Chain A
């Protein structure tokens, strides 16, 4: 893919580019335009009394980033080997930096808007809340996450875990 193509695609209103991430063996997609950074989180400072989703705060090149554990946010089981956070997706909301801790960063996919389908209604309401929809890929389902809603933590219904 050439850069020229890229630009063309980016301005193409009929498709979106997504970065796929693995969280507890489930494939999720995050819009490329939402992502500021991909980094390895280290020296996390735990925040006592914080909502359970908040893993802690860390220093990313002089900025204080609040790390959100995507597994807890999505009510997914804890990893068997605790303590090895693989990757974090740097996102921003209201001028604040957040890091969404995930297992693995996958690839970049360009997908047509029209193929985005709503989530089946029997899926966990927590997922319904933070998702924009679902893509049926070959052999796998890709759930598209709404970052703004993912970061909306602290409401009683959102932090039941």
Chain B
């Protein structure tokens, strides 16, 4: 056995060990008590896999420089970013992982694939990696609200068309180019179309559907890494990539279920082109309430449920919400937070915001836990949430959101809805909750309204 063969078998054995650590790590990441340790284990697995690969790297100095630059940029972003910007940060990191696999596939194409299967893998890895990168960058733009494109605009339609063209071109690259070698540089065109296609994949998907796209892109980055592993015959890449692919897929399914829509409908149809328009006219009048009256009702409540939505994130109201919650508890009121899986712009968005504001996670409840006992809730305070509390989902078969599991706040004794104005939610559906007998509208900026309530309590 030559020296190099020895090294390679030792590496492979250590890769198995590293894979086991990745598996345990991601398992522990799925439980509250063990999550921190799980993340650490997975980081250790990464360190081991990278170190053992580093042994026979061709150009160690250049690699070290690359890792150092990456480490500095990554750490700076991770430590400086505000917790409220987490969704777009995760999207961006995800994109960089995709970009790395895109480059790997590109480089492997230049090593001249030796067999048909390798050729196929190069094309697919290029495509998934590239779409993950440019799609994530667009998702970053949408989440950070630096990129605003109308769904019906020409730009959106152009890029959506490019997305379909890129898929056809990928199939062409896989099937035809191997048989009839084209007289032009078809691979460079694939690289470009892939990146444009990724933009077209994400650009038509808006606001409330972002949690699904983010989860899916997360899954893609893993699948891309797994395919790169097949390409490079590297088993730790395959195992770790597959785990990420699976976890992203699970989140995607959870998000789609929480909206009662299929993944295909979210990605390729969207609410806007849904033909059924809510027929229910606004019935009755909305009943506004002011801060002092809201305070009197809250003061006498024995059970309060807070339902946060994207509006709370926009208003940055999580800290003052926690303050109100503490004052209510000091007053003998039971305070819980009803969290809908798709509230906000990414999976678990509300949980992160509330955790940042020091709300303990055991007072957070999911819809199916709180709905059966909703009639014992004295006041449900809806802060910047809309579609996830829309009773049309249970009462109106014609509604576009009919069948979506919601937090049934309309069954609570009193509902406060904190809202800027009477505009409808992301789904474009009017919300009959606002016209219910037991609903009171507290108009204005959520942070100011809650702040007003906090002041009343302190006086």
Is the A/B pair a real complex?
no
A residues near B, CB below 8 A?
none
